[in-house]
A and B are shown apart, each in its own frame.
Chain A
Amino acid sequence: MPDENEFEGEYQGGTVKRFLYVNRRAPHGTIYPHETLEMVLIAAAFDQDVTVVFLDDGVYQIKKDQDTKGIGIKNFTPAFRALDDYDVEKLYVEKESLEARGLTAEDLLVPVEVVSTEELREIMAEQDVVLGG
């Protein structure tokens, strides 16, 4: 098995692409949000240019103080706070989605930029790859 150094060396010469990950689902109940976060961390570990968007029920993914004991699954959401260590700093939340759910940026566990649907459209248009979760 090759070690991480070899992988890193191999990828250092590669092209950096702009990846955008779109989160639209509530954090628990399906595997998509957790798996999308894994994809984000892997892309970031390989030095890609990563942007993450939260809209619709996806805004609940980064709500503070989640407690999953009652549904018997691991609360993976503290891992969003590690995004900063992975140099993933471009986190956008759709303003309309946040407001429709009675939330504000203070209810979120990571610093984000709140943007309108219109601004989000521009952000999406700038990407090389857009992936939904």
Chain B
Amino acid sequence: MPYDYNGAVVEADEEGYIQDISLWTRELAELIARGENIEMTGDHWEVVNFLRDYYEEYQIAPAVRILTKAIKKTMGPEKGNSKYLYELFPYGPAKQACKIAGLPKPTGCI
């Protein structure tokens, strides 16, 4: 399921995760988010940017429980909880936010 974007085609797998992380841009993220019926706000970007930083440091996309815990550690309990994150990303904070962040599907998510 490739994305058509600025006249270029960005390859993605059947679930919409892009294949080449280096092709990611903020505009592409907005496009992927629209496909997920998500209107990106500052709160969404905060999670997406957090995931990208996590991937940069550890080279993996964390499972939802790990993401929640890591966000709690850096941003505090009012953001590091399932309710807040599922409100932002109703179909799974790790899965949807990773897709928008241009990362692979989270490890530990089958």
Contacts and interface: CB of A to CB of B under 8 A. Distances in A.
A81 B58 contact: yes
Nearest to B58: A82
Contact of A41 (B64, B70, B108): B108
Contacts of A85: 62, 66, 69-70
B41 interface: no
A85 B109 CA distance: 16
Contacts, number: 54
Contact of A45 (B59, B92, B107): B107
A74 B59 contact: yes
Interface string A82-103: 1001100000000000000000
B13 interface: no
B59 A3 contact: no
Interface of B: 57-60, 62-66, 69-70, 82, 91-92, 94-95, 107-110
